[in-house]
Copies of this chain bind each other. A is one copy, B any other.
Amino acid sequence: MARHIILASNSPRRKELMKMAGFEFEVKSKNVDENHPEGMKAEEIPVHLASKKAKVFLSEITDNEVVIGADTIVILKGKIYEKPVDREDAIQMLAALSGQMHEVVTGVCILSKQKEVVFSDTTKVYFNQLTREEIEFYVDNYKPFDKAGSYACQEWIGAVAINRFEGDYFNVVGLPINRVHQELKKF
């Protein structure tokens, strides 16, 4: 597999995971409209957006290039939590997640000129009950404004809040790297 890989994401966490898996790749990303069709099922949104993020490169890639797009959302009781808009929104999201199990869904699109593979991976994450004080401490010190669900599991809150994962931990970090690795081997 001597293909040139383009990671269409600015997320430093996704970059870390791609490095961890031993890939050589280039990071390139373009702003895409992150809206999704009205009435689309929650589970389908990450794949839809991942595909959009990859497809903006379709016209400019060579035959030897592969683009990876990804999008992560949090789903709690059927409701979608994306990136918070501000401090209060982040606090409210974390208050909603407190004491509950939620799902982290990352959609991935792997695209070349010849083919496209899309899939999504879901991990269940169990949060302890958090106090308002703990939530504010986290938001004010870690500023999780670029994170779906307003948290990063590899930060302080991961130690304090999360008592259980079911699924791929790295999917919660931002990319289901095991599945990505398997799909890229076949690509």
Contacts and interface: CB of A to CB of B under 8 A. Distances in A.
A153 B154 CA distance: 14
Interface string A153-181: 11110111111111111100000011101
Interface of A: 17, 20-22, 128, 153-156, 158-170, 177-179, 181-182
Contacts of A163: 168, 178-179
- Report, nearest first, the 4 A-B pairs whose CB atoms are least far apart: A21-B159, A169-B169, A159-B177, A163-B178
A38 to B, nearest CB: 34
B162 A165 contact: no
Given A166-B165, A168-B165, A160 B21 contact: yes
A170 B158 contact: yes
A116 to B, nearest CB: 22
Copies in the complex: 2
A177 to B, nearest CB: 4
A21 B161 CA distance: 10
A178 B21 contact: no
Contacts of A179: 163
B178 A128 contact: yes
Given A21-B156, A181-B159, A167 B165 contact: yes
A46 to B, nearest CB: 19
A34 to B, nearest CB: 27
Contact of A165 (B155, B165, B181): B165
B155 A20 contact: yes
Contacts of A160: 21-22, 178, 181
A170 B159 contact: yes
A163 B182 CA distance: 10
Given A128-B178, A160-B181, 16 more contacts: A20-B154, A20-B155, A20-B158, A22-B160, A128-B182, A158-B170, A159-B170, A159-B177, A159-B181, A160-B178, A162-B178, A163-B168, A164-B166, A165-B166, A165-B169, A169-B169
